[in-house]
Structure formats: structure tokens, C-alpha cells
Structure 1
Amino acid sequence: MKKIYTLFAALVWSAGLYSQGCVGSFTLTTQTQVDAFACTSTTGNLIIESAAIDPILNLDGLAGLTHVGGSLIIRDNALLTDFDGLNMLQTIGGNLLFEANPFLLHLDDFLSIIAVGGNLTIVDNPLLIDVNGLINLSNFDGNLSIQRNDILQNIDGLLSLNGLIGAVTIADNPLLSDILGLFGITQLTGALNIRFLPLITDLTGLDNITSVGGSVLIQQLATLDNLDALAGLTTIGGGLTIRNNNALLDATALGALTSLGGGLTFLNNLNLANNAIDLSGLTGPLNGDLQIINNDAMINIDFLSGITAVNGNLVIRNNNLIFNIDGITNITDISGGLEITGNPNLLDCTGSCTAINNMGVVGALIVSGNAGCPDAPTLEAVCLVLPIELAYFRGEAQDDRIVLSWLTLTESNNSGFEIQRSENGRDYKTIHWAEGLGTSTSSQYYSYTDTEVEKGINYFYRLYQLDFDGTGTYSNWIAVQLPVAQVQVEEFFPNPAHSTTACYINSPSDDIVNIEIIAANGVVQRQDQQYITAGRQMIELDCSGLAAGFYLVRITLNNISFNTKLSISNPN
């Protein structure tokens, strides 16, 4: 049939005649063809794609066109600046595509368009400023894609879109300042992709969307600081990925989400803290990968506590501040692998023990680069079930000492307990032995007072329970600290320094430390900012490149400044 349409069109052109309602599809590549076009409607597609010879300069010859039964494709027209001639066009049965029209400035000639039966695609139009000409388009339920339009500033012309449509992709439009034009949309049957929009500070325009049939991707929005516009989103049919949004501070709006059909990924969101994420509505199994990667502001993953199984891989990688993964304690089964790697402050990996002890990890167990679980064998040993029923293991700071206590409900072949202590959560030493009861069905209370402790240091304790046959298992660790009454800054070491130096800071609370290295002439040579947790913690300074001499180091936290001298000497 297509060949017949093409032949029919060729014959009409050759005769210079057209009927008003034209049957078939047409491709216009020259200005001569455009000028000869006399159709008021077509049953098939209309493609306007300029050739090198006799290129299309204007579309005036299309002035009577009101309907295209198939798709309208306008692409690769190097000399077109507008679509004057299409201002009578009202309805398109198929897709509407604007692609690679290098001098297209606007779509104002499409003000009569009220319906598009297929997809709407606006891509690679480098001088397009807005889409205001589509303001009357209200009958549309296809996919919407607006990508790589270099100076597009807004999409307000889409405000008449309403209700349910297909997928939405808004990407790579560097000057787009908002997506308000999507405000009337309430449901998507496909995916939602919002990515590479450096000027978007929020997602206003998505406020009325309650469900997305496909996946949701929020990626590389350099100035996005919240997801508040997603507060009404309850259902995602695919996965949810939040990645590379370095200014993002608040994801609490996700608390309304109750159904997620795919995986969940938080990747490279450097300032998104764990307490700024709310996934309390998500409970039960996750049907895809669960990935928490390169999120430097997270200290735990408690927001995952409602998830009970992962039908994919579970990856916790390169999160610099995470110190426990208790948020995955309720996950009993992982159909893929479990990876816990490169988390330098992760002291407690026992949140993964539920799945490990349940033999619920089907794939590989990969563990490395974590403070408290440096490798898979160590983690598996920690996860072994104790041959005692331990009701609790506690530690309490009392004046200048730490009192440890634990209660067993039953004991079996229990020789006793080594009490082990560490100052870094990795290297433990035995500080006391407590005799066990052997085998007992009665509760037994134990305690030990540790007097060899200093204020401000975070001490880690664990029990190593030993059977009479010499086998042993570890309890979970606990951390206890004698509180510091006020901030204390210790001397730098080494001093004189060459390339680096360090000092310990005792702080009664978590804080941001501002550091300045000031030369003798009063000029600030170097500035740095570091995050510290309550207690005694070491900070390091980079001195490389500083000239030899004496410097003042000013350390400010809690609105208090501390000054200390630092000598820089050239290396031998």
C-alpha cells in the first residue's frame, strides 16, 4: 500500500495537481514540492526534510493543511526559521517530531494544534527558545521527549497537557530553568526521566503526578536541592534512581511512595544525608537491585528498614561516613550477590547477618575495605550465632570509667567471655576474662568496670564467647564514650611538618571544622572544611606546596576559634 501512495504522490506532483483531501504519505524535500502541495489533509505521514538542492526555505505552500492522519516529521531543515504555513494545522493522528532544525526559533505557528495521537518529540533544535506554540495541545496521551535543545528556556507551552500520558523525558537542555509545563499531568504509563538540567533547583511541575508506570530517573541536576514536588507520587512501576545530584539535600517527599516495582539506587549524591530520606512507605520485597554508592553525607541506611528481600544484587559501596548498616537487618533473602566494599568508617556490618545466617544470599559475598568487616570470612564469623542466649550487652559512661554489663538467658558449654576493647573498631585487645556457667537454663548477669579510659575517645567493646572445646564466637560490638565537656584541640604532629600534619580534636557534638593556614603576613594560604563526629577524632592538613616558615593555624567550630603555631620545613 505504501508503494501505491508514493506512486500516487509522484504522479500528482508530476502533473502539478492535488486533490484537497490526499490519500497516502508524502515526503517533501524541496521548495518546489512544498509550493506545489495543495492538500488540506493526508491519510498518512507527512515528512518535511530538506534536500541540498532546491532546499526548503519556507512552508507557505502548506497553508491549507488542517489534518495529518499519520505522523508529522520536520527534521534536518537547515534554512527554516519558522513553520509559517502550518498555522491552520489542528490534528495529527500519529507522532509529531521536531528534530535537528538548526535555525528554528519557536513553534508559534502551531497554535491551532489541539490533538496529537502519537508521541511528541522535540530534539536537537539549538536555537529553539520555547514551545509556547503548543499551548492549545490538550488531546495527547503519547510519550513526550524534549532533549538537547541548547537554549530552550521553558516548556510552559505544554501546560494544557493533562491527565494520563505515556513516558516523559526532559534531558540535556542546559538553559531550561523549570519544568512547570508538566503541571497538568497526573499519571504516566511509561518512564519519567529528568536528567542533565543544570539550572533546575526543584521539580515543580511534577506536583500532580501520582503514579509512573515505568522507572523514575533523577540524574545530574546540579542545583536541585529537594524532591518536594514528588510528595504525591505513590506508585512507580519500575525502578527509582537518584544519582549525581550534588546539591540535593532533601528527599523526604519520597515518604508517600508505597509501591516500587523495580530496583532502588542512590548514587553520587554527595550532600544527601540519611535523615533527609524518607522511604517509610516502602515495605516488603524489592524487585530489582538495591544500590547505595558514593553518598558521602550518609552515616547509616536506616531508611531501608522496611525492605524484607532483594530480588537482585545488594551493593553498599564507597560511602565514606556510614558506620552501620542496621537498615538492612530485615532483609532475609538476596537473589543476587551482596557487596559491602570501600566504606572506611563502616564499623558494624551485622545488619547483613539476617540474610547471611538465613543462607539467603544466592550470589557472591564480596566484602572489603570496611573498618569493622574487612573481608567476607570476618563478616561470616561475626554473623555466627552465639551458643548462648544473650539478652543484652550494654556499656555506660560513669564519671571517669565505663561499666559494661550483659545478661544471658541460657548457656550451653560456655567456658566464659573475653571482653575485648578497641579504639578504632578494627584492632581489638582482650582486657578481661569473665567465667561462664557452662550449661545453664537460668539467667545470669555479668558486669565489668573499665577504668583505663580517657574522655573523648570512642571505645568499642565486644564479647568473645569461648566454649570448653576452644571454639568461640563474637557478640555484636557496642561503642561507649566518656563525654567531653568542651572542645579541646591538641597539638599538631609532626611539627615541623613537610607535606602533611595532623591533630586530635575532642568535641562534645558532631560539627563542621573550618581550618585556615595563615602566613606571617596575615594572608590566608589555605582553607579547608572537615566534618567530625562527637568525641576524639583526628583531622589531617595538607601542607604540600607551602613555603618553609612559621604559620598560624586557626581552627573554628561551635563558633569558637583555636589558634596554634605550625612550622613548615623543606624536606631533606
Structure 2
Amino acid sequence: MGGLRNLSGLDASQLVIDGDLKISGNNNLESIADLNGVVITGTCMIANNPLCVGCTCGSIGLAAFTTSTTTTSTTSTTTVTTTTSTSTTSTTTRNPAYEGDVLCQSSAQLADAAALLEDRLRINGMVAFSNYDSFTCDVDATTLASMTAISHVEALEIRGSTALETLAGLEALAAVEFDVAIRGNAALSNLSGLDTLSSIGLDLTIRGNALLTSLSGLSSLTHVGGQLAIQSNPVLETLDFMTSLGSVDFLLISNNPLLTEVDALASLTSVNTLYVFGNDELANVNALRNVTIVGDCFISGLKDCVSPDACSCSDL
């Protein structure tokens, strides 16, 4: 490709490279601007193009994801001649989007999962850390910190962790296309780390978290397209911090024995199906008076609830 001067004719907005991008050894190449914004699934290496000033992976929009940069210079001298050779800088770059699932199902996979997630902005697949039944991937805070730049995943499962106390590391996560499951995490006390999350396309399940006392971290959540299930969290007393939620398809609040109020749900306006039962200390559902319930409604077992408080579906 010695005579190539530029890459005109390429439309980077329509170009996806399924693999690595390598541009090297083009003596007359002067510009790679036509690749600005290209999407690749592998790594990028641009080097040894002597006339292409400023031509790096960073110059076409991948600079934030540099994983290694090397420059070498060698000089050899004899009694007759002196030869100096210098190689140009080579930059290897990771694509900000990963195509596929990242499923950690054993402790041996933790390091690989973290390495795969690090420096990504988007995962076009599911991210799951699973430690239950035959799965033994016990995620910790260090591993979760590998997700600090990720703003979008298709689905997220954090299940069975014995170490996580919060969800720190997920602060950039703004949207989940399908489901989020936070289940059976023995040390989790709140959901801090999800503070930017505003939309979940399908279900949000918060279930069986032994030390969960607060839903801190969900203050930005406005929409759950499927089921919001808050179940079997033995020390959860309040739904505080869910104050922005406007719509849910199916709201299920059950078997949270210390839950005393649901006041944070006062912003909720639309629910297709509502089930509230098995919450021994819950005295009323006054916060749900303004909710329009389109389908089924079942409310049972409220503690000493009497009029004028909202005690049943007919009171809503």
C-alpha cells in the first residue's frame, strides 16, 4: 500500500470492524481522518506511517482506551559507521463496546471477567457474577471496580456475594436494557453505586439480601418496564431513596418482615399489577393512593391498618 495517501471513500459511521485494526508501513499515507468514529471489536495498532503526522488510535476516537504504548530507540556504533534506528510509537487500543455476555460462574473466572470489563463504556450483553447452586463466582469490591466506566449493559446480575457491602463501581451505569437482579448477597447493606441508574427495560429484583437496610442508590430510577420485586429482605425497614420512580408494570412487595412504610413510592403514578403481602410491620399503603392500577391488585396482611389509611385495593 505504498502509494496510499488517505482513506477517503470509507464511511466510519457505517463501518464496524469485527476484529483488530492495524495500519502500518504505509510510506505515503498522510491522513486517517476518514476512520474517525470507527467501531472495532478487537485492538488498534497504528504505527510506521512516516508522513501521517498525528495518526494514532487516539486521533480516530479511541484514545481513552489505550492499554499499552511503547517506543524503542536503539543505536549501534562500529569503527567505520554509526547507525541509528528509531521505531515510531505504537498504540494498542481497546474498543469501548464489548459485544457479548460476561458471565462469571466460578472464582477462577473473576480476574478474566474484570480484565474484560475494564475500560469499557458499554456491554452489549449480560454481566453476571453468580455465586449460588453450582456457581462459585463470589464478586468483591475490587472486581466490581472494573466497571467504573460502563454506562450501559443489557442485563446485570449480582447474586450470592459474601463480600460486597455496597455496589460501588457501578456509578456510571445509567441504563439497563433488560433485567437487573440483586439477590442473596450476604453483606450488602445498601445499593450505593447505582446512583446514576435511571431506566431498567424489564425486571428489577431485590431479593434475599440478609443485611440490606436501605435502597440508597436508587434515587435516580424513574422507570422499570417489567416487574419491580422487593422480596424477602429480612432487615429492610424503608423504601427511601426510590423517590423518582414514575412507572412500573408489576409492583411486588412481599415478605420483608421489618418494612414499616412505602412512602418513597408517592411519585409512582402508573402500575399494571400490584401485590403487597407478607410485610408484618407495614401499617398502610397511603403512598400509593395516586397510583392508577390497570390490572390485578392484591394487598394483604397490613399491621393494624384502619380507615382513613389506605388498607386495601379499594382504598387506592
Match of 1:60 among 115, 120, 145: 145
Counterpart position of 1:204: 286
- AA partner of residue 155 (structure 1): L
CA distance in 1, matches of 2:137, 2:285: 45
Going from structure 1 to structure 2, the CA distance change for 1:130 and 1:224 (only over 3 Å counts) comes to same
Counterpart position of 2:302: 221
Matched, 1:89 2:173: yes
Matched, 1:22 2:98: yes
Match of 2:114 among 7, 31, 35: 35
Alpha-carbon shift at residue 205 of structure 1 (Å): 1.4
- AA partner of residue 292 (structure 2): T
Which secondary structure does the structure 2 equivalent of 1:35 belong to?
A: helix
Alpha-carbon shift at residue 34 of structure 1 (Å): 4.0
Q: How many residues in Structure 1 have an aligned counterpart in Structure 2?
A: 219
- AA partner of residue 66 (structure 1): S
- Tell me if the contact between 2:284 and 2:303 (Cα under 8 Å) persists in the aligned partners: no
Deviation sequence 1:390-428 (CA, Å, 0-9, x none)? xxxxxxxxxxxxxxxxxxxxxxxxxxxxxxxxxxxxxxx
- AA partner of residue 221 (structure 1): L
Counterpart position of 1:136: 220
Match of 1:77 among 137, 155, 161: 161
- Tell me if the contact between 1:102 and 1:126 (Cα under 8 Å) persists in the aligned partners: yes
Match of 1:168 among 230, 246, 251: 251
Q: State the percentage of identical aligned residues.
A: 24
- Structure 1: which 4+ aligned runs deviate by more than 6 Å? 51-54
- AA partner of residue 67 (structure 1): H
- AA partner of residue 92 (structure 1): V
Which secondary structure does the structure 1 equivalent of 2:100 belong to?
A: coil
Counterpart position of 2:234: 150
Greater RCO structure (CA 8 Å; 6+ sep): 2
Going from structure 1 to structure 2, the CA distance change for 1:148 and 1:255 (only over 3 Å counts) comes to closer
Alpha-carbon shift at residue 45 of structure 1 (Å): 1.3
- Tell me if the contact between 1:199 and 1:223 (Cα under 8 Å) persists in the aligned partners: no
Going from structure 1 to structure 2, the CA distance change for 1:227 and 1:219 (only over 3 Å counts) comes to farther
CA distance in 1, matches of 2:161, 2:255: 21
Counterpart position of 2:271: 188
Alpha-carbon shift at residue 181 of structure 1 (Å): 2.0
Alpha-carbon shift at residue 201 of structure 1 (Å): 1.5
- AA partner of residue 143 (structure 1): Q
CA distance in 1, matches of 2:95, 2:151: 14
CA distance in 1, matches of 2:136, 2:209: 22
- Tell me if the contact between 1:201 and 1:226 (Cα under 8 Å) persists in the aligned partners: no
CA distance in 2, matches of 1:112, 1:195: 30
Counterpart position of 1:107: 191
Counterpart position of 1:322: none
Normalising by structure 1, we get a TM-score of 0.36
Going from structure 1 to structure 2, the CA distance change for 1:206 and 1:63 (only over 3 Å counts) comes to same
Matched, 1:254 2:280: no
Q: How is 1:113-132 mapped onto 2 (pairs within 5 angstroms)?
A: 113-132=197-216
Which secondary structure does the structure 2 equivalent of 1:60 belong to?
A: helix
Counterpart position of 1:49: 130
- Tell me if the contact between 1:72 and 1:92 (Cα under 8 Å) persists in the aligned partners: yes
- Tell me if the contact between 2:284 and 2:302 (Cα under 8 Å) persists in the aligned partners: no
- Tell me if the contact between 1:122 and 1:146 (Cα under 8 Å) persists in the aligned partners: yes
CA distance in 1, matches of 2:127, 2:98: 11
Counterpart position of 1:426: none
The two structures, once aligned, show a CA RMSD in angstroms of 2.7
CA distance in 1, matches of 2:308, 2:178: 34
Normalising by structure 2, we get a TM-score of 0.63
- AA partner of residue 108 (structure 1): S
List runs of 5+ in structure 1 lacking aligned partners: 5-10, 231-241, 243-252, 257-572
Which secondary structure does the structure 2 equivalent of 1:143 belong to?
A: strand
Which secondary structure does the structure 2 equivalent of 1:137 belong to?
A: coil
Going from structure 1 to structure 2, the CA distance change for 1:34 and 1:223 (only over 3 Å counts) comes to farther
- AA partner of residue 270 (structure 2): Q
- Tell me if the contact between 1:128 and 1:151 (Cα under 8 Å) persists in the aligned partners: yes
- Tell me if the contact between 1:202 and 1:226 (Cα under 8 Å) persists in the aligned partners: no
CA distance in 2, matches of 1:146, 1:53: 24
Which secondary structure does the structure 1 equivalent of 2:205 belong to?
A: strand
